[in-house]
Amino acid sequence: MSEVRKRRNTNPRQPDPTDDGASLEAMLLHKLDVFLYKVESRLNDMEEYGLQKLIQFDQSIQHAYDVLSQAREEMIGAGKRRADVLLRFMENKLYMDPIDGDGSGSSDRAESSGVSYQAVSESVSGSVSEVSDKLAKALLLMEEKLAYIEATCFEVVDSKAAVIGAQLALQAAASRLLTYDELPIQWRDNPYIVRGYRFCKGYMDCVYSLVRVHNETCNIWTHLLGFFVMLGLAFYHWPSTLSWEQSSTMDKVTMIIFLVAAMKCLVCSAVWHTFSGISRLKIKQKFACVDYTGITVLIAASILTTEYTALYCRPMERNIYMAVTAMFGLFGSIFTWLPVFDTKEYRGKRILFFVSFAVAGILGFIHTALLHGFVDTFSFYLPVLKSLLCYVAGVVVYSFHIPERWFPGWVFDYFGMSHNLWHISVFGGIYYHYIATVRLMENARTFSCSY
């Protein structure tokens, strides 16, 4: 690093405006110095980013770096000269001698020309302010252009880093499973899961991995098997229950909506975890959105069953609640397809979104409690409690990476990690909500029509 760069790696000091020795030159050069400091900061950021390692893959990165370096050197060399020229111009225009520390030359010229020293000073002050404003605007424009160059450069760097990382990961994954650090950055999600990662070149490689052992095996099969369990309940258990015999067409439609949503959620989850290791980032992100959509639809359908049964004999209120829930479910499904929704940085907000949507279902409970009293309403909703406890337990272990955060690199890399436990909790929540809905359907008329 050059001496100039070493000097400019510290934030430039603002000249003291109360210092009698402070000159216009110092003030102007300070503005240039601030700009140069920002250039230096960007250059340092680029170097620390690992720029030199990536230049060989794309010369546009080198070009962007050279542009910043050239801007720095030109500004350092020309900045002082331009300030000197500006000062001389102002001195000549205002009939001033070169600015001395005490300003005596300016005073003598002003007196000899019949112009008061105060008038000259005011003129100088106004000119300084005008020049300073113009210089500030010019530097602001240069900073905007510099920021654009920087953003473009880092966009190229990120793109190339992803391509290079994917190529290296594919080479290694051809013969073995990868570690967390071997994955490209965009594929990294849980740093406590150290081993067992796939990185598949295409769709069929992901499909073949269904019969291999890796850190997604349990995530895939817990929900794939759960789908077949729910399929059996839908076709064999439900038709044998009292709720089926007593149900109207609308009752059956409501239960079918829940069963379809539950099975859709389980299938979407299994599909996502099957293809989560695909090496094409955009495809990976789309499969993630499939999973989020399945969760959103399940939450909406689960709330619908409780609203339908609790307000069974109040069709107007019931239909309003169900319409609002369906609308939120639709908008939520669209929202989950936004590119930002699948980012690692958005993880906390994803959890908050799903939890908030589920909690919104409590509005129906409050309305029902106002009609029937809290005790009777709680007793009616009691079958749903097991389902809620499963979901709450799952959210806790998933949010805090329990237990792998305490034992990174252990057996939890493959079995018993937080995501496995979350999947088991989700299936438990679905199963117990199905059982609860059967009970709610059987008791809906007795409870809702009692007032």
pLDDT of 7 higher than 80: no
The annotation status of 214 as a binding-site residue, yes or no, is no
- Report which of residues 119 and 379 the model is more confident about: 379
- More confident of the two residues 342 and 21: 342
Mean pLDDT value across residues 268-295:
94
167 and 193 assigned to the same domain: no
- The answer to whether the predicted template modeling score (pTM) of the entire model surpasses 0.75 is no
Of 119, 150, 173, the residue at which a domain comes to its end is 173
Q: Residue 293: name the closest of 322, 270, 264 by CA.
A: 264
Last residue of a domain, one of 173, 196, 211: 173
In a domain, 283, yes or no: yes
205 shares a domain with 89: no
In tens, the pLDDT along 133-172 reads 666 666 666 666 666 666 666 666 666 667 777 888 999 9
Say yes or no: 214 and 323 in one domain.
yes
Residues 54 and 161: beta-carbon distance below 8 Å: yes
pLDDT of res. 406:
95
Asked if residue 191 and residue 110 are part of one domain, the reply reads no
C-alpha 315: how far from chain center? 41
- Whether residue 149 is found in the same domain as residue 210: no
Q: Domain of 393?
A: 187-448
Q: At what angle do helices 418-448 and 374-381 cross, to 10 degrees?
A: 130
Q: What is the pLDDT of residue 98?
A: 47
Res 292 pLDDT > 80: yes
- Rounded (10°) CA dihedral 31, 34, 40, 46: -110
**32, 84 Cβ separation under 8 angstroms:** no
- For residue 265, tell me if it sits in a domain: yes
Residues 191, 161 share a domain? no
Q: What share of the chain is helix, strand, coil (3-state, %, to 5)?
A: 80, 0, 20
Structure confidence at residue 71 (pLDDT)? 59
Is 223 within any annotated ligand binding site?
A: no
Q: What is the pLDDT of residues 183-235, one digit of tens each?
A: 998 899 999 999 999 999 999 999 999 999 999 999 999 999 999 999 999 99
DSSP three-state, residue 174: coil
The better pLDDT of the pair 348, 45 is held by: 348
Tokens of 75: 């500004």
The pLDDT value recorded for residue 299 is 93
Cβ atoms of residues 64 and 54 within 8 Å: no
Sign for the pseudo-dihedral over CA of 285, 288, 292, 294: positive
Contacts of 436 (CB under 8 A, 6+ apart): 383, 384, 386, 387
206/95 same-domain check:
no
Kindly report the CATH number assigned to the domain that includes residue 329: 1.20.1070
315, 331, 336, 328: which is closest to 254 by C-alpha? Answer: 315
Q: Which one, of 168, 142, 139, 136, lies nearest residue 54 by Cα?
A: 168
| Tally of structural domains, the chain | 2
Kindly write down the DSSP assignment for every residue of 64-119, as one continuous string: HHHHHHHHHHHHHHHHHHHHHHHHHHHHHHTT-PSPPSS-HHHHHHHHHTT--HHH
Across residues 336-354, what is the average pLDDT?
A: 79
Amino acid identity of 155? E
Write the pLDDT tens digit of every residue in 409-440: 899 999 999 999 999 999 999 999 999 999 99
Please state the rounded mean pLDDT for residues 114-138: 59
Phi, psi angles (nearest 5°) of residue 278: -70, 145
Q: For the ranges 39-48, 72-81, 250-259, 397-406, which has the lowest average pLDDT?
A: 72-81
Radius of gyration of the chain (CA): 34
Whether the CB-CB separation of 269 and 291 falls below 8 Å is answered with yes
Residue 197 and residue 146 share a domain = no
419 is in an annotated binding site: yes
User: In which band, very low, low, confident or very high, does the pLDDT at 23 lie, cut at 50, 70 and 90?
Assistant: low
How far does the chain reach from its first CA to its final CA, in angstroms? 83
From 111, 139, 173, give the residue that closes a domain.
173
Q: Is the pLDDT of residue 348 over 90?
A: no
User: CA 3: distance to chain centroid?
Assistant: 40
Same domain, 169 and 263: no
267 and 412 inside one domain: yes
DSSP character at residue 403: T
